[in-house]
Each structure stands twice: as structure tokens, then as C-alpha cells.
Amino acid sequence: QKEVEQNSGPLSVPEGAIASLNCTYSDRGSQSFFWYRQYSGKSPELIMFIYSNGDKEDGRFTAQLNKASQYVSLLIRDSQPSDSATYLCAVEGQAGTALIFGKGTTLSVSS
């Protein structure tokens, strides 16, 4: 059974701070890793994807992947109140079609 685990939170950070969101996965054969943002009652919105070990930066967002530890994280720099949402970690299996989602971490950014 492929599992993706996330701390459900809530994670509370003040405006301007760095938010750090973490995710672990069970399937060592997983190849691709995704971070989605989901506002309440809305659909998931892709923020970033990462394939290779190391860091990948896109604006205020940095994804980090460590395949040996089966760990992926998302850093949000200069957090804004509009970043308040649930962040979903998703892992793509070897077959390449299904995304396996974690339950998500709720982030609250206070102004």
C-alpha cells in the first residue's frame, strides 16, 4: 500500500516568515513529487514538482527532495496571508498515471 504522510497541522506562521511543510512517502520506486495548494472547497492547484534529489526554487517556493530518506518538503519564503491554505503532497507511482496524495497540511499565515 503506497502511503504519503503529512503532518495535518495547523502550521501557524507570522506574515513574512518561512513556512516549512514536510512529507514522507513509502514507495521507494516513486519518481515524481508534487506540491498542490488547496483552498477550502476548491480544487488542488499545482505549485511545484520535483524529480531529482536536491532543491528546486520557483519564486518564493522551494521544493526539496531526498529520495534516500523518502522525504520531500516545501519551503515558502516571505509567507503572506494569501498563502493560508491546505498544502497537499502528491507522489507519482512507477506506472506514471496515478497521483497518491497525502492528507495535507493546513497553513495559517497571520498578518
Q: Which residues bind another protein (CB under 8 A)?
A: 32, 34, 42-46, 49, 88, 90, 92, 95-104
- Minimum gap (Å) between residue 43 Cβ and another protein: 4
- Minimum gap (Å) between residue 34 Cβ and another protein: 7
Q: Give 14 or 96: the residue with its C-beta nearer to another protein.
A: 96
Q: How far apart are CA 57 and CA 31, in angstroms?
A: 19
Supply angle C-alpha 66, 28, 18, rounded to 5: 30
- Minimum gap (Å) between residue 10 Cβ and another protein: 14
Q: Give 45 or 58: the residue with its C-beta nearer to another protein.
A: 45
Q: Is the dihedral of CA 28, 34, 37, 40 positive or negative?
A: negative
Q: Is the dihedral of CA 91, 20, 37, 9 positive or negative?
A: positive
